[in-house]
Structure 1
Amino acid sequence: MYYIVETPKTFDQAAKDLAAAVTSHGFGVLHIHDLGATLRGKGIDFAEDCQVFEVCNPGQAAQMLATDMRLNMALPCRISVFTEKGTTKIGLIKPGPMLSALSDNAELVQVAQAVEEKTIQMVDAAI
Protein backbone atom coordinates (compact mmCIF):
# COMPACT_ATOMS: atom_id res chain seq x y z
CA MET A 1 0.00 0.00 0.00
CA TYR A 2 2.94 2.34 0.66
CA TYR A 3 5.89 3.18 -1.56
CA ILE A 4 8.70 4.67 0.54
CA VAL A 5 12.35 5.02 -0.39
CA GLU A 6 15.35 6.34 1.49
CA THR A 7 17.62 8.91 -0.07
CA PRO A 8 21.13 10.03 0.91
CA LYS A 9 20.09 13.60 0.09
CA THR A 10 19.34 16.23 2.66
CA PHE A 11 15.70 16.92 3.39
CA ASP A 12 15.85 20.27 1.57
CA GLN A 13 17.56 18.81 -1.50
CA ALA A 14 15.10 15.90 -1.69
CA ALA A 15 12.15 18.33 -1.49
CA LYS A 16 13.64 20.50 -4.22
CA ASP A 17 14.31 17.49 -6.44
CA LEU A 18 10.81 16.10 -5.88
CA ALA A 19 9.25 19.39 -6.97
CA ALA A 20 11.30 19.26 -10.19
CA ALA A 21 10.40 15.60 -10.78
CA VAL A 22 6.68 16.31 -10.39
CA THR A 23 6.82 18.98 -13.08
CA SER A 24 8.99 16.93 -15.43
CA HIS A 25 6.46 14.08 -15.28
CA GLY A 26 3.54 16.24 -16.42
CA PHE A 27 1.98 16.94 -13.03
CA GLY A 28 1.78 20.14 -11.05
CA VAL A 29 2.42 20.91 -7.40
CA LEU A 30 -0.78 22.44 -6.06
CA HIS A 31 0.46 23.03 -2.53
CA ILE A 32 3.15 21.97 -0.09
CA HIS A 33 2.11 21.43 3.52
CA ASP A 34 5.08 21.84 5.86
CA LEU A 35 3.81 19.66 8.69
CA GLY A 36 7.01 19.88 10.71
CA ALA A 37 6.97 23.68 10.72
CA THR A 38 3.24 23.78 11.42
CA LEU A 39 3.56 21.51 14.46
CA ARG A 40 6.55 23.41 15.80
CA GLY A 41 4.66 26.68 15.22
CA LYS A 42 1.87 25.33 17.44
CA GLY A 43 4.32 24.70 20.27
CA ILE A 44 4.67 20.95 19.66
CA ASP A 45 8.12 19.49 20.24
CA PHE A 46 8.49 17.78 16.86
CA ALA A 47 12.05 17.00 15.76
CA GLU A 48 11.39 15.57 12.29
CA ASP A 49 10.92 17.41 9.01
CA CYS A 50 7.89 16.61 6.85
CA GLN A 51 6.57 18.28 3.72
CA VAL A 52 3.50 16.88 1.99
CA PHE A 53 3.27 17.74 -1.70
CA GLU A 54 -0.22 17.82 -3.21
CA VAL A 55 0.29 16.88 -6.86
CA CYS A 56 -2.17 16.64 -9.72
CA ASN A 57 -2.50 15.89 -13.41
CA PRO A 58 -5.57 17.91 -14.43
CA GLY A 59 -6.62 15.58 -17.25
CA GLN A 60 -6.54 12.48 -15.11
CA ALA A 61 -8.24 14.24 -12.20
CA ALA A 62 -11.04 15.48 -14.47
CA GLN A 63 -11.52 11.98 -15.88
CA MET A 64 -11.85 10.51 -12.41
CA LEU A 65 -14.26 13.20 -11.23
CA ALA A 66 -16.40 12.92 -14.36
CA THR A 67 -16.84 9.22 -13.62
CA ASP A 68 -17.36 9.47 -9.86
CA MET A 69 -17.51 12.87 -8.18
CA ARG A 70 -17.12 11.28 -4.74
CA LEU A 71 -13.46 10.68 -5.56
CA ASN A 72 -12.78 14.39 -5.00
CA MET A 73 -12.15 13.35 -1.42
CA ALA A 74 -9.18 11.25 -2.52
CA LEU A 75 -7.63 13.97 -4.67
CA PRO A 76 -5.07 15.38 -5.15
CA CYS A 77 -2.34 12.78 -4.83
CA ARG A 78 0.10 13.30 -2.00
CA ILE A 79 3.82 12.61 -1.96
CA SER A 80 5.78 13.25 1.23
CA VAL A 81 9.40 14.10 1.91
CA PHE A 82 10.21 13.42 5.53
CA THR A 83 12.95 12.58 7.98
CA GLU A 84 12.88 9.66 10.35
CA LYS A 85 15.67 9.30 12.89
CA GLY A 86 18.15 11.18 10.71
CA THR A 87 17.24 9.50 7.43
CA THR A 88 15.49 11.35 4.60
CA LYS A 89 12.67 9.46 2.92
CA ILE A 90 10.21 10.08 0.11
CA GLY A 91 6.94 8.19 -0.05
CA LEU A 92 3.32 7.93 -1.03
CA ILE A 93 0.25 5.82 -0.55
CA LYS A 94 -0.20 3.95 -3.83
CA PRO A 95 -3.23 5.29 -5.75
CA GLY A 96 -4.14 1.87 -7.21
CA PRO A 97 -4.93 0.05 -3.95
CA MET A 98 -6.48 3.18 -2.44
CA LEU A 99 -8.85 3.66 -5.38
CA SER A 100 -9.70 -0.04 -5.46
CA ALA A 101 -11.05 0.39 -1.94
CA LEU A 102 -13.22 3.29 -3.12
CA SER A 103 -14.46 2.14 -6.53
CA ASP A 104 -14.73 -1.01 -8.62
CA ASN A 105 -14.97 0.93 -11.90
CA ALA A 106 -12.45 -0.65 -14.29
CA GLU A 107 -11.79 2.62 -16.13
CA LEU A 108 -10.93 4.39 -12.89
CA VAL A 109 -8.69 1.56 -11.78
CA GLN A 110 -6.72 2.00 -15.03
CA VAL A 111 -6.37 5.74 -14.42
CA ALA A 112 -5.23 5.10 -10.85
CA GLN A 113 -2.65 2.60 -12.09
CA ALA A 114 -1.28 5.14 -14.57
CA VAL A 115 -1.09 7.78 -11.82
CA GLU A 116 0.62 5.29 -9.53
CA GLU A 117 3.27 4.53 -12.15
CA LYS A 118 3.95 8.25 -12.69
CA THR A 119 4.09 9.12 -9.00
CA ILE A 120 6.51 6.26 -8.32
CA GLN A 121 8.65 7.52 -11.21
CA MET A 122 8.63 10.97 -9.59
CA VAL A 123 9.81 9.55 -6.29
CA ASP A 124 12.51 7.49 -7.98
CA ALA A 125 13.70 10.52 -9.94
CA ALA A 126 14.03 12.53 -6.72
CA ILE A 127 16.14 10.01 -4.80
Structure 2
Amino acid sequence: MNPFFQSDTDKSFEAACAALEAAIPAHGFGLLAVHDLGETLRSKGLDFPEQCRVFEVCNPQQAAKVLRADINLATALPCRISVSRQDGRTRIAMVRPAVMLSALSSDPELAEVARQVEATTIAIIEAAA
Protein backbone atom coordinates (compact mmCIF):
# COMPACT_ATOMS: atom_id res chain seq x y z
CA MET A 1 0.00 0.00 0.00
CA ASN A 2 1.18 3.47 -0.84
CA PRO A 3 2.24 5.11 2.45
CA PHE A 4 0.89 8.46 1.22
CA PHE A 5 -2.60 9.67 0.46
CA GLN A 6 -2.65 12.69 -1.79
CA SER A 7 -5.16 14.66 -3.77
CA ASP A 8 -4.41 17.24 -6.42
CA THR A 9 -6.78 20.17 -6.67
CA ASP A 10 -7.46 22.97 -9.10
CA LYS A 11 -7.67 25.37 -6.15
CA SER A 12 -4.98 27.92 -5.54
CA PHE A 13 -2.59 27.29 -2.68
CA GLU A 14 -4.35 29.80 -0.42
CA ALA A 15 -7.82 28.50 -1.35
CA ALA A 16 -6.75 24.92 -0.60
CA CYS A 17 -5.32 26.00 2.78
CA ALA A 18 -8.57 27.80 3.63
CA ALA A 19 -10.67 24.82 2.54
CA LEU A 20 -8.53 22.49 4.66
CA GLU A 21 -8.89 24.76 7.71
CA ALA A 22 -12.68 24.65 7.26
CA ALA A 23 -12.82 20.88 6.73
CA ILE A 24 -10.83 19.95 9.84
CA PRO A 25 -13.40 20.96 12.51
CA ALA A 26 -16.27 19.87 10.27
CA HIS A 27 -14.93 16.31 10.64
CA GLY A 28 -14.43 16.40 14.42
CA PHE A 29 -10.73 17.18 14.45
CA GLY A 30 -8.93 20.17 15.87
CA LEU A 31 -6.21 22.26 14.26
CA LEU A 32 -3.23 22.45 16.60
CA ALA A 33 -0.72 24.35 14.49
CA VAL A 34 0.19 25.41 10.98
CA HIS A 35 3.83 25.45 9.90
CA ASP A 36 4.66 27.46 6.80
CA LEU A 37 7.73 25.51 5.71
CA GLY A 38 8.28 27.54 2.57
CA GLU A 39 8.34 30.80 4.49
CA THR A 40 10.54 29.31 7.20
CA LEU A 41 13.13 28.14 4.68
CA ARG A 42 13.08 31.47 2.84
CA SER A 43 13.49 33.34 6.14
CA LYS A 44 16.69 31.33 6.71
CA GLY A 45 18.08 32.60 3.42
CA LEU A 46 17.43 29.40 1.46
CA ASP A 47 16.27 29.45 -2.12
CA PHE A 48 12.91 27.66 -1.86
CA PRO A 49 10.38 29.02 -4.36
CA GLU A 50 7.64 26.46 -3.61
CA GLN A 51 4.79 26.93 -1.17
CA CYS A 52 4.30 24.34 1.57
CA ARG A 53 2.30 24.41 4.78
CA VAL A 54 1.91 21.58 7.25
CA PHE A 55 -1.27 21.43 9.32
CA GLU A 56 -1.09 19.50 12.58
CA VAL A 57 -4.51 17.99 13.31
CA CYS A 58 -5.83 15.84 16.13
CA ASN A 59 -8.90 14.08 17.41
CA PRO A 60 -8.43 14.09 21.20
CA GLN A 61 -10.43 10.93 21.84
CA GLN A 62 -8.45 8.92 19.29
CA ALA A 63 -5.13 10.39 20.45
CA ALA A 64 -5.95 9.43 24.06
CA LYS A 65 -6.57 5.82 23.01
CA VAL A 66 -3.18 5.67 21.30
CA LEU A 67 -1.33 7.32 24.19
CA ARG A 68 -2.98 5.09 26.81
CA ALA A 69 -1.82 2.03 24.88
CA ASP A 70 1.77 3.22 24.38
CA ILE A 71 3.04 6.63 25.41
CA ASN A 72 6.01 6.21 23.04
CA LEU A 73 3.57 6.68 20.17
CA ALA A 74 3.40 10.35 21.13
CA THR A 75 6.30 10.71 18.71
CA ALA A 76 3.89 9.88 15.86
CA LEU A 77 1.24 12.39 16.94
CA PRO A 78 -0.42 14.62 15.87
CA CYS A 79 -1.45 13.79 12.32
CA ARG A 80 0.02 16.08 9.68
CA ILE A 81 -1.61 17.17 6.45
CA SER A 82 0.40 19.20 3.97
CA VAL A 83 -0.67 21.62 1.29
CA SER A 84 1.99 22.28 -1.30
CA ARG A 85 2.35 24.02 -4.62
CA GLN A 86 4.91 22.83 -7.13
CA ASP A 87 5.12 22.97 -10.90
CA GLY A 88 1.81 24.85 -11.06
CA ARG A 89 -0.11 22.18 -9.12
CA THR A 90 -1.64 22.29 -5.65
CA ARG A 91 -1.57 19.05 -3.68
CA ILE A 92 -3.01 18.09 -0.30
CA ALA A 93 -1.29 15.04 1.20
CA MET A 94 -0.52 13.02 4.31
CA VAL A 95 1.24 9.89 5.47
CA ARG A 96 -1.46 7.25 5.96
CA PRO A 97 -1.94 6.79 9.72
CA ALA A 98 -2.63 3.05 9.39
CA VAL A 99 0.62 2.50 7.48
CA MET A 100 2.66 4.59 9.90
CA LEU A 101 1.20 2.99 13.01
CA SER A 102 1.66 -0.53 11.63
CA ALA A 103 5.40 0.18 11.51
CA LEU A 104 5.35 1.23 15.17
CA SER A 105 2.92 -1.19 16.82
CA SER A 106 1.35 -4.60 16.25
CA ASP A 107 -1.57 -3.91 18.63
CA PRO A 108 -4.81 -4.74 16.74
CA GLU A 109 -6.83 -2.22 18.77
CA LEU A 110 -4.44 0.55 17.77
CA ALA A 111 -4.62 -0.62 14.17
CA GLU A 112 -8.39 -0.06 14.31
CA VAL A 113 -7.93 3.42 15.77
CA ALA A 114 -5.47 4.22 12.98
CA ARG A 115 -7.94 2.97 10.35
CA GLN A 116 -10.65 5.21 11.78
CA VAL A 117 -8.32 8.22 11.90
CA GLU A 118 -7.19 7.51 8.35
CA ALA A 119 -10.77 7.35 7.06
CA THR A 120 -11.53 10.70 8.65
CA THR A 121 -8.35 12.43 7.52
CA ILE A 122 -8.96 11.18 3.97
CA ALA A 123 -12.45 12.66 4.19
CA ILE A 124 -10.93 15.95 5.37
CA ILE A 125 -8.53 16.03 2.42
CA GLU A 126 -11.25 15.12 -0.07
CA ALA A 127 -13.53 17.85 1.32
CA ALA A 128 -10.73 20.40 1.00
CA ALA A 129 -9.70 19.39 -2.51
Same fold (TM over 0.5): yes
Deviating above 2 A after TM superposition, structure 1's stretches of 4 or more consecutive aligned residues are none
**1:13 shift after superposition:** 0.4
Residues 25-84 of structure 1 deviation map (CA, whole Å, 9 limit, x = unaligned): 000000000000000101111010000000000000011000111100000000000011
**Matched residue, 1:91:** 93
Unaligned 5+ segments in structure 2 are none
Distance 2:54 2:124 in 1: 14
Partner of 1:71: 73
Instruction: Confirm or deny that 1:82 pairs with 2:84.
Output: yes
| SS of residue paired to 1:104 | coil
Q: 1:90 and 1:5 mapped to 2: Cα distance?
A: 5
What secondary structure does 2:74 align onto? Answer: helix
Q: TM-score, normalised by structure 2?
A: 0.97
Q: Percentage identity across aligned positions?
A: 52
- Distance in 1, matches of 2:121 and 2:91, equals 15
2:26 pairs, out of 9, 20, 24, with 24
Where 1:12 maps in the other structure, the secondary structure is: helix
- Distance in 2 (CA, whole Å) between partners of 1:48 and 1:86 is 10
Stretches of structure 1 lacking an aligned partner (at least 5 in a row): none
Correspondent of 2:8 among 6, 9, 14: 6
1:85 and 1:29 mapped to 2: Cα distance? 28
Question: Who is 1:100 aligned against?
Answer: 102
Aligned pair count?
A: 127
5 Å-filtered alignment, 1:35-50, equals 35-50=37-52
* Equivalent in 50, 59, 62 of residue 60 of structure 1: 62
Cα-Cα RMSD: 0.4
When normalised by structure 1's length, the TM-score is: 0.99
